[in-house]
Chains A and B, each alone.
Chain A
Amino acid sequence: MPLVLPPSVLGFYLLLAFSPQHGVGKWLHDVFDIQFVFSFPGLVLASVIYSLPFMIGPVKSALQQLPPSLAQASYTLGKTERQTFMRVLLPNIKPSLFTAIVLTFAHTLGEFGVVLMIGGNIPNVTRVASIAVYDSVENMDYGTANAYSLILFCITFVMVMGVFIFNKAHAKSPLE
């Protein structure tokens, strides 16, 4: 669902779910003294819920593309499913895993709707760069908005280039 729901809708439901007034949020608050709404940990949790499906898809697809005989060979050597996953399957989808992690991180970095809903816009607590850009434009402070945007652009550009270079280094020629 997080893949297709508008981020603001997902953020709204998470806001309701983690509200300290009722339900899970109240239980977390009463029992563990944890409040996810309008806090940085809540912002991180909401981002994970929103972004994880974007990572799971490519990783699952990479695992499915491995020949089944790899896992079977490991089982016949007496290895458990966990050992097989950690020692054989996971290392052999390294490029896909790296790509998924970096792109999901870059995607999360620019997230706006979910973050604004669950975290609000509290300076030095939950104001992230993407919200700061919006905030600066709202206040007609285009210089600050430009600075934030440029920083986000540079970080994202470096990440995408890094993924591109890494994948090119690991790609095999079809003639090999």
Chain B
Amino acid sequence: MISINIEKKLRAYSGQQWLKVNREFATGSITKIYGPSGAGKTTFLKMIAGLIQPEKGIIKLDDLTWLDTSSNISLSPQKRMTGFVFQNYALFPNMTVRQHLEYATNDTRWINRLLTVGKLETLSTHKPDHLSGGQQQRLAILRALAIKPKLLLMDEPFSALDPKMKTALIAELKLLFTEFKLTVLIVSHNPMELEGLCDGEMEIDTEG
């Protein structure tokens, strides 16, 4: 289980706003996160991953404290090892599809399986520049899964996929999530997009 109780000051056009989240997510749960633009959905995911520091709060994964501002505990992103799918994919332009996965893991069998899941086997020697938007998005998901994280954070992960590919990939990912008892938080703007995948949802909104 991951328990989160954090507060973060956000700068907005209308002035300062507070992003406050107090929530627990059961191990193996898949939760959709939604909310208006600028509400702090991406910031929320980045705080969990350790890429952004909240003003105060606590984040715990099972018995391990990732963050406790009152005790000055804050594990680095490297120690938290959350799988993170960035909204802009954040693929490495210098690496091929296979090299992306090899950068994350040495497990060749796992790499081959991920390539099959993402239907990227035939493109394994291609660099991101030579992939379509949907292929890049799939690679970003596979790279996040390559480290076999306990917690997977996905920021708009299916926005560039065509409906057929999206359905197929979601079905494959659901099997992987179940197999590895992954806790998954998915940010999405499209309410229909994650139907059948998520077992819970959470709205994020700021307080003025």
Q: Which of A's residues lie within 8 Å of B, judged by CB? A: 67, 69-70, 72-80, 87-88, 91-92, 94
Contact = CB atoms under 8 A, between A and B. Distances in A.
Given A76-B51, A78-B147, A88 B84 contact: no
B92 A76 contact: no
A67 B88 contact: yes
A75 B78 CA distance: 5
A79 B80 CA distance: 11
A75 B51 contact: yes
A70 B147 contact: no
Nearest to B144: A76
B158 interface: no
Nearest to A66: B93
B13 to A, nearest CB: 22
B103 A87 contact: yes
Given A69-B86, A87-B103, A76 B49 contact: yes
B103 A77 contact: yes
A72 B43 CA distance: 13
A75 B77 contact: yes
A76 B93 contact: no
A76 B92 CA distance: 14
B77 A76 contact: yes
A94 B143 CA distance: 23
A72 to B, nearest CB: 5
A80 B77 CA distance: 10
